[in-house]
Amino acid sequence: MSAPPATTRRRRGAGKERPQPAGRFSSLTAMLLVGLAVVAARLVYVQVVKGPEYAEAASSQRTRDITISPERGFIYDREGEVLAESMEARTIYAVPDAIKDKPAAAAAIANAIGGDPARYEEKLFKDSGFVYVARKVDVAQAEALKELGIEGLGFLEDSRRVYPSNELACQVLGFVGVDDEGLSGLELYYEELLGGAPGRLIGERDNQGRPIPGGITLEEAAVDGEDIVLTIDRDIQYQTQVALDEAVERWGAKAGSVIVMDPRNGEILAMASYPEFNPNRFGEGDEAAYRNRAIVDTYEPGSTIKSLTAAAVIDAGLYGPESMFELPSTIKIGGRTIHESHDRPTVSWTLTDIVTQSSNVGAVKLGLALGEEDLYGYFSRFGLTEKTGVDFPGEVKGWLGTPDSWSPSSLATITFGQGVSVTPLQLARALGAIANGGNLVTPHFLKESSAPTDKAPRLVTERAISEETARQMRVVLTDVVNEGTGSAAAVPGYQVAGKTGTAQKARTDGKAGYAQGKYVASFSGFLPAEDPRVLIIVNIDEPSNSIYGGTVAAPTFSRIAAYCVDHLKIPPGSPVTGESQAPGQ
């Protein structure tokens, strides 16, 4: 029997799957596990490590965190006239990705609210989910833009600060920035009261920047600011600024300042500085115009300080208004020869004559009688070594070194206002002690507020000189106007008391001495002299057409004083009289 064909043979195990090697299965398993590990690691990185960042990015794309500005408190004058107010406005924002035709949108914005289309276009092309287009926009202009229905533009309710009288009391009031925060003046000093507290709104929006109904996640209402009432009298402030502006122009001066104050309580009725600026457009003003010169500028007061020197010797019991002095034409002290402003022969003058004729030599004689320690002590009592405590930011004080730092001639020069510096407000406070019966009061602007504040001034009263000394000095200072260098300060029907000043300006180039031809012309006085209600300090800085305080500053004092007594309905009062005998001479 023959064997079957080879093709029909079967091998053992034919018809069964051949098993795979174990190593290949292990490799596949390992690869799968590695892949899963990579995915898991990536998930951990995305969800744990980068999770907060991605969540924040997603949230920022769909939500908007917007600050809600409070309405800033109003500022009123003492009669309730508005000096600063907040008016309704709109803030315009954009979602750049939602605006299809950015150049056209920029042109439409500029046409509706004004401004440079190129600047708006630059904002619209920013890689951001939210940009401010314009802030504090007039409501009517914003509504006109809104009616155009430009996709991607949004509008928020806002307010803007407005100063109805423009330059009026500009340095006193100051101004606020785009975020409604006070940047200078009383707007800055009373920020805590005026500013209020901002609110906050977090809401979801679609890709066009439109609010999603019910998508508010946080809403905190803004707390509006409190109102304040100032001691400033709007009408007196206006007349003061007009008079100062005209004086600076008439005398070709560089700058100037005026203070009008009630010497009885320190209430500041007006405070003006030249040059001025408009706080509604403060960005256009010169930096020098922002300075409230009466509070932040110092100068050597010159002859106006002779009233304090005279008051000191009377209060110390050394002399009286009628005490006689033999005065040579010059006097030499500490190697320095002191001259008068005008040459004269040797004279016999009373203390009153020394003040009314503004004698430098006479003032030196008074200072020598006092001595260094007592002269320094009295000037300290008049507040010349400290700030006044006025409620205003950036107040400075003048300089009066202690006697151990004085040169051999300091005692002489300080008596007539050289080698000592003050601010105009320091001088007003000191002269106020003579006007009000001997008390040093605190000058201040705040009359009342709708909420209490720790920033309110401390209305401290300190005794500087005796009431009798103050009375006698008022008599002396009326003679300055009636018979002396201050005749141009007279006000018809009223007794005016005051003192002229023509002070050289110290050099500012780091060298000792005084600047050639540069002076501060001043007049400081009050009325009615018997019962003073108004005290006025006038400083004209670097006049060029004349330099003397009696010529340059006194007429401005008279003009402002005349308006004040009429506006405030102050009666003329009784003539200033009284005994003025020397206590010992």
Report angle CA 193, 202, 127 to the nearest 5 degrees.
Answer: 105
CB 433 within 8 A of CB 439: yes
Tokens 């960005």 belong to which residue? Answer: 283
Residue 281 DSSP label: G
C-alpha distances out from residue 449 to 70, 75, 163, 457, Å: 18, 9, 19, 12
Separation between Cα atoms, residue 261 and residue 243, nearest integer Å: 16
Give the torsion sign (CA, 364, 366, 370, 373): negative
Closest by CA position to 184, among listed 393, 440, 461 = 393
Checking DSSP bridges between strand 75-76 and strand 228-230, what pairing results, if any?
parallel
Separation between Cα atoms, residue 188 and residue 564, nearest integer Å: 29
DSSP secondary structure string for all residues of 523-577: EEEEESSSS--EEEEEEEES-SS---HHHHTHHHHHHHHHHHHHHTT----PPP-
Tokens 């600011």 belong to which residue? Answer: 225
Active site residues: 303
Query: Which residues 6+ apart lie within 8 Å of 498 measured at CB?
Result: 477, 480, 481, 486, 489, 523, 524, 525, 526, 554, 557
Backbone angles phi, psi at 138, to 5 degrees: -55, 135
Within 10 Å of residue 200's Cβ, how many Cβ atoms?
Answer: 13
Q: Which two tokens stand for residue 137?
A: 């926009």
End-to-end CA distance of the chain: 176
